[in-house]
Structure 1
Amino acid sequence: MRSNSTDSYQDDRAQTVIGFVIAVSTFVLIIAVLFASLGGVLTTPITNQADTTEEAAQTAQTLVVDTLSAHTTSSPTTTQLSHEKVVEFFDNDSPQLDNVTAGDNLSSRVTLVYIGPQEPPTAFGSNRTLVVGDQPPNSNVASSYTTTAVLDDRPVMVEVETWH
């Protein structure tokens, strides 16, 4: 018996569709595995310590909105920092970290960085960075949170690191 050429053509088309479905399914599975593992790669590792990212965020917000704020109201519309409050807070003789750190038995370090191209605000002295608080024991145990604000009409970045 002779085989019909159209039967062979339809068999080839069926194999093409099956191959396409397998290839697309494999591609989607690889992408799903890649995205699932990528989240764990990009997060900051917390080793042998509790994650204190929430406390770092609360401390940063307390600093920007309340402790260092140039506004006298409890709901400021901008994150304008007070020159006098910044100078007082970062004065090494009177660290006030215990008053603003969110959480008990929590150590913290606050860094204020000038991020503009001009000269830094006069509160910085001759530096571009102000720091108060101890250095974390190592970088794997500290959680951090960064926010931006304005000091003397210039942009600054407030970074808070917290750890137990």
Structure 2
Amino acid sequence: MPDRSADRPSDRPAEHPSDDASDHLSGRPSPDEARLYYAARPSPLVAATAIVVDSAGRVLVLAPPYRADAELPGATVEDTQTPEEALARGLEELGLSAPIGRLLAVESRRPGSLGRSLLAHVHLVGPLPAKQAGALSCAGGAPAGARWLTPEEAYAVLPARLAPRLR
């Protein structure tokens, strides 16, 4: 199968990309680039998300530079992957190797601005020991904006479409 990784704006579904013209300079895909990418994907788009917790009960929240909003770790399911395989890939990109825990929910969303409906498999990962939780990394160091937050803090910073996954 052809590797389409160079074509994708990100592994995470951009449900609401910014319309800011400066996005291209910040590393975010432009709205047109995101629409073209998602138009070529199967519908519904399938994603896998993790609620990663550490031994203190904190939740891992990401604020990647290519997104306007905070998000939970995860990945879009590619080609013949299962949601669990996609999630493992997404966690590996953060330097985490942890068993994918139980399925907490399967969420569905109507087509948004990118014209694709979404099925998101939400899994629990952890609790991770303190040493493993502190070892997050990406190419070039720690993931931009990776923070361990209490569930209440995470709920407050996540966008309204994601925060309910914590409940």
TM tier relative to shorter chain: under 0.3
The answer to which structure has the higher helix fraction is 1
TM-score (norm 1): 0.26
Larger Rg: 1
TM-score (norm 2): 0.26
